[in-house]
Amino acid sequence: MSLSKPALQNDVYLRALMREPTERTPIWMMRQAGRYLPEYKATRAHAGDFMSLCKNAELACEVTMQPLRRFPLDAAILFSDILTIPDAMGLGLYFEAGEGPRFERPLRDHRAVESLGIPDPEQELRYVTDAVRTIRHELGGKVPLIGFSGSPWTLATYMVEGGSTKNFSVVKKMLFAEPQTMHLLLDKLADSVILYLNAQIAAGAQAVMVFDTWGGVLSPRDYREFSLAYMKKIVAGLTRHADGRAVPVTLFTKGGGAWLADMAASGCDALGVDWTTDMGIARQLVQDQVALQGNMDPSVLYASPQRIEEEVATILASYGQGHGHVFNLGHGIHPEVNPDHAGAFIEAVHKLSPAYHR
């Protein structure tokens, strides 16, 4: 599939990630294409199930575009799932009602990890790169397209546990009792993520993000050894220029506020910050080495538009004057949120942020 890539009309998000001057703070939302939108629910019902939606390039493009038709967002994010790589490795991904993602064949010993192959993004994961190409063409240069992957540690938690977990006992047992096995798995996953994200960039993604959802369950020592070290490897292996401009890389560890300084030294361009860390403190910790993304509590979107605007004002004031801030939620938007409240959130950022860029 070969589709043209129109010139970019709105690059404020990319400039902010590179800490270049911007006239306002750009905004997009994690999970902005998702279950809070009735049109998404209709498209998913048409697809039949979640993975069928992910694996259909036209439908993945449709749900990626839906929030952009409603809201003046500054970026689109590829509609996919963080577990595409484990699925391509043959672990048998499926989704159980009320239980979330599950794997038919979780990894429980060294032999199982040794037998894992590294997926070819243009073969086993071709549906993702086809979706990137389709979305990039459909965007018509309106806003940039973000590609993404789960972090090696986060992918490993699902692959070893066999799905979602509350205490992480199985994956931590492997980490502490068989660290060589865990390092082998994480190394294979890092290599896979590098190939996967570079394929997304080649297909048209203009920025990429690594979601380390479960890094926050580790101790500081173990975080550095089993999560951050492999994200550093990914950053070092990524294509950093395409289409004549830089391709920014953002790392996000949920619950990782204590490690922002270490993360900033990884070579990335930006860090995601969740709502448990004050944005002003985060900026002090990274000393403007990198841009920061975040960080409103998604639950604020249940509040009135006035309260939402107050929270936006608080976060903008905390970050302060200057560039290098991308406004976002501290994690994904909740499915029960009224879309009008998401609109009020975006409007508040547009209204209040220019004063911080004079």
What span, in angstroms and rounded, lies between the C-alpha atoms of 70 and 90? 37
The reply to whether 33 sits in an annotated binding site is yes
The reply to whether 158 sits in an annotated binding site is yes
Residue whose token pair is 């890389």: 249
Catalytic, 81? Answer yes
The reply to whether 341 sits in an annotated binding site is no
Counts for the chain of helices (H) and strands (E), in that order: 16, 11
Q: Quick one: tokens of 107?
A: 């990894």
CA 97, 102, 107: angle at the middle one, nearest 5?
Answer: 170
Q: Which of 44, 105, 126, 224 is catalytic?
A: 44
The reply to whether 137 sits in an annotated binding site is no
What span, in angstroms and rounded, lies between the C-alpha atoms of 329 and 256? 15
Q: Which of 13, 36, 40, 158 is catalytic?
A: 158
Catalytic, 40? Answer no
Q: Which of 15, 19, 24, 31 is catalytic?
A: 31
The reply to whether 243 sits in an annotated binding site is no
What span, in angstroms and rounded, lies between the C-alpha atoms of 267 and 251? 10
Catalytic, 70? Answer no
Catalytic, 356? Answer no
CA distances from 330 to 76, 280, 323 (A): 17, 14, 19
Question: CA-based Rg of the chain, rounded to a whole angstrom?
Answer: 19
The reply to whether 32 sits in an annotated binding site is yes
The reply to whether 320 sits in an annotated binding site is no
Q: Measured between alpha carbons, how far apart are the two ends of the chain, in Å?
A: 44
The reply to whether 332 sits in an annotated binding site is no
What span, in angstroms and rounded, lies between the C-alpha atoms of 35 and 42? 10
The reply to whether 357 sits in an annotated binding site is no
CA distances from 292 to 17, 91, 218, 252, 333 (A): 8, 35, 22, 10, 18
Catalytic, 136? Answer no
Q: Which of 11, 74, 81, 269 is catalytic?
A: 81
Q: Which residues are annotated as a binding site?
A: 31-35, 81, 158, 213, 331
Q: Which residues are annotated as a binding site for substrate?
A: 31-35, 81, 158, 213, 331
- Catalytic annotation, residues: 31, 35, 44, 81, 158
